[in-house]
Chain A
Amino acid sequence: MGWLAYLIQHRGEALGLLGEHLLLVGVSTLLAATLGVPLGVWAVRSRRAQRWVLGAANVVQTIPSLALFGFLIPLPLLGGIGTTPAIVALLLYALLPIIRATHTGITGIDPAVREAADAMGMTPQQRLWQMELPLALPVIFSGLRVATVIAVGTATIAAAIGAGGFGSYIFRGLATVDNRLILAGAVPAALLALAADGGLGWVERRLGRR
């Protein structure tokens, strides 16, 4: 349990890393949600968009994170090193589960319900806001949950471009052959992922109950 002693001893620093980690995950998944849900809706509306949006999100998912960081360094504005490119990378990784969940959630709605909405004379706008999105919400939310858990894990790699987070301990531990430091980064990151999963799962169950 040397890692726990280390964390307690360096609690100020560890809290700072926790803050950085939460910032990376929070900002990137919120941005991914605001981008991903409209993209998912667009993918439902048009077959062409479906192919391109889901295809692109799939491809992004396969790029190794270090390679993605390497591509981002020379980019102006969104690139470079530090927090900004790390958030960009995490956002890109979080998009796929959210887009896919939105798409699945809306296409999975019983066609009879959609016919009823049309029969009531709803415009496509009204149908989206009053019927499709509310019914798909539990599925969309489960996608957001998956995206968040993935982001908590992936954020450890953000330390490769100086964005901090618990990954700093992991990288430092790997560089100095120090098991204790690796665990001091890996265990809190894992606990954070479990907490995010549990917390969002609770919200999800409440959404489903309505």
Chain B
Amino acid sequence: MRGTAALLAGLLLLAAVGCRARPHVVVGSKNFTEQLVLGELLAQAIENPGVKDPRPSAVTRRLDLGGTFLCHQALLRGQIDVYPEYTGTALTAIFKQAPISDPAAAWSAVREQYQRLGLAVSPPLGFDDTFAILVRPADAARWGLHAMSDLRQVAGRLRPGFGYEFMERQDGFAGWTRAYQLDFNAPPRVMDLGLLYTALAQGQVDLIAGNSTDGRIAALGLVQLRDDRHYFPAYQAFFAYRPSAAAALRPAFSRLAGRLDTRTMQAMNAAVDLGHRDPAEVARDFLHAP
């Protein structure tokens, strides 16, 4: 009896030591390319820490979760420990607050909101994923479209197409058309964002709101209009995480923070969307680059 107890105690101790030696982190992400790449980047940075921290953690990947809603719920319930998010999305979609255009103010508001839920945020990753208003180059040349305010005269002739998120969000369609005084004749075609790029390139719609870091902008040769009235708020990318996983996550954060600018992210997204490469492979190349 005593022997069994001792054995059990020993096993428990071993398990405890084992756990401490190899902390376990569950990395989540939403279901679009950039999130998959970011999820992989973080997972690999945790698995292969630099020379300073020789103790790698075990990682479970829960990538490709269906959207902001699912990721946030999973994080709150502890089903994932960390996932990539954007300041503008967190403020408006998760915390139901008014959008903030000043990046610094948006950042501190977001951090405070997460703290209230007992969650934490990583330092900004270095890029903004904001709405990009896109047109075909032929139309841009024909109507002389460079900035969003150029749309005012021709809006009536364009067939717009938008994703559900853009139509619903406080910082989306309604506010944008008001800020630029746009009057589209046709009601916007509302559909899945991923399919909108194809629809624009195929001439099914004439103007869409995509994501500024999407690799398809460059690949399909689409023209992005300048936000000359600074309407769209800041969408700085960061990781939202559970403080219980901080020890394993912090070294990885410091390896990634500030290293990802818009062009780097665009290039990685394009490598996946257009080069048909695996997000894991693209992430590996980035981490191993000098």
Stretch of B52-60, B161-169, B247-255 with 4 or more beta carbons under 8 angstroms from chain A:
B161-169
Smallest CB–CB gap between B240 and chain A, Å? 13
Whether B19 sits at the interface, judged by CB under 8 Å, is: no
Q: Are B68 and A177 in contact (CB under 8 A)?
A: yes
Given contacts A81-B189, A82-B189, A162-B189, contact A175 B165 (CB under 8 A): yes
Taken together as a complex, chains A and B put the C-alpha atoms of A58 and B81 apart, in Å, by 40
Q: Are A74 and B202 in contact (CB under 8 A)?
A: yes
Q: Is the CB of A175 within 8 A of B164?
A: yes
Q: Is B190 a contact of A168 with CB atoms below 8 Å?
A: yes
B191 proximity list for chain A (CB < 8 A): 81, 159-162
Contact-size category for A: 20 to 34
Taken residue by residue from 191 to 203, chain B's Cβ proximity to chain A (1 for < 8 Å, 0 otherwise) reads as 1101100110010
Q: Is the CB of A66 within 8 A of B204?
A: no
A185 vs chain B, min Cβ distance (A): 11
Query: Measured between C-beta atoms, what is the minimum distance from B92 to chain A in Å?
Result: 8
- Given A176-B169, A177-B72, A177-B93, the answer on whether A73 and B202 have CB atoms closer than 8 Å is yes
Whether the pair B199, A73 counts as a contact (CB closer than 8 A) is yes
The chain B residue sitting closest to A72, CB to CB, is B195
- Tally inter-chain residue pairs, CB-CB below 8 A: 74
Q: A110-151: contact bitstring with B at CB < 8 Å (1 yes, 0 no)?
A: 000000000000000000000000000000000000000000
Q: Bound complex: CA of A172 vs CA of B166, how far in Å? A: 9
Structural contact, B164 and A171, CB atoms closer than 8 A? yes
Report whether B195 and A177 are in contact in the complex, using a CB–CB cutoff of 8 Å. no
Report the separation of the CA atoms of residues A70 and B216 in the bound assembly, to the nearest whole angstrom: 15
Q: Are A81 and B205 closer than 8 Å at their CB atoms?
A: yes
* Distance between Cα atoms of A66 and B194 in the complex (Å): 9
Q: How far is the CB of B236 from chain A (nearest CB, A)?
A: 19
The smallest beta-carbon distance between A52 and chain B, in angstroms, is: 30
Asked if B68 and A66 sit within 8 Å, CB to CB, the answer is: no
Cα A69 to Cα B192 in complex, Å, equals 10
Closest B residue to A171 using CB positions: B164
Residues of the A chain whose Cβ atoms lie less than 8 Å from the Cβ of B169: 175-176
Bound-complex Cα distance A172 to B165 (A): 6
Residues of B within 8 A of A159 (CB): 164, 190-192
Q: How far is the CB of B51 from chain A (nearest CB, A)?
A: 40
Q: Quick one: closest B residue to A173, CB to CB?
A: B69
Give the distance in Å from the alpha carbon of A110 to the alpha carbon of B69 in the complex.
55
Nearest chain A CB to B11's CB is how many angstroms away?
Answer: 43
1/0 per residue, CB under 8 A from B, across A168-192: the answer is: 1001111111110010000000000
B282 interface hit (Cβ, 8 Å): no
Of the candidates B67, B163, B164, B204, the one whose C-beta lies within 8 Å of that of A81 is B204
CB neighbours (8 Å) of B74 from chain A are none
B residues near A168, Cβ cutoff 8 Å: 164, 190
A80 CB within 8 Å of chain B? yes
- Give CA–CA (A66, B202) in the complex, Å: 17
Question: In the complex, what residue of chain B is closest to A75 when comparing beta carbons?
Answer: B202
Q: Which residues of B contact A82 (CB under 8 A)?
A: 189
Residue of B nearest to A157 (CB): B192
Which chain B positions have C-beta within 8 A of A162? 161, 189-191
B66 at the interface (CB under 8 A from A): yes
Q: How far is the CA of A73 from the CA of B72 in the complex (A)?
A: 32
A177: contacting residue among B94, B192, B204, CB under 8 A: B94
By a CB distance below 8 angstroms, the chain B residues around A179 are 69
If A74-B202, A81-B204, A81-B205 touch, whether A176 touches B168 (CB-CB below 8 Å) is yes
Contact of B165 among A69, A81, A161, A176 (CB under 8 A): A176
Bound form: Cα–Cα A45–B191 in Å: 42
Annotate B60-102 by CB proximity to A: 1 below 8 A, 0 otherwise: 0000001111001000000000000000000001100000000
Q: How far is the CA of A74 from the CA of B198 in the complex (A)?
A: 8
Q: Are A160 and B202 in contact (CB under 8 A)?
A: no
Q: By CB atoms of chain B within 10 A, which of A70, A73, A74, A175 has the most?
A: A175
Task: Identify the A interface with B (CB < 8 A).
Answer: 66, 69-70, 73-74, 80-82, 159-162, 168, 171-179, 182
Ordered by A's residue number, 13 sampled pairs between the chains whose C-beta atoms are within 8 Å are A73-B202, A80-B199, A81-B204, A159-B190, A161-B195, A162-B189, A172-B164, A172-B168, A175-B68, A175-B164, A176-B93, A177-B68, A178-B69
Chain B interface (Cβ within 8 Å of chain A)? 66-69, 72, 93-94, 161, 163-165, 167-169, 189-192, 194-195, 198-199, 202, 204-205
A-B pairs, top 9 by smallest CB distance, nearest first, are A175-B165, A160-B192, A162-B191, A175-B164, A177-B69, A171-B164, A176-B168, A162-B189, A177-B93
Query: Known contacts A81-B205, A171-B192; can you find 6 more A-B pairs with CB under 8 A?
Result: A66-B192, A70-B194, A161-B192, A162-B161, A177-B68, A182-B69
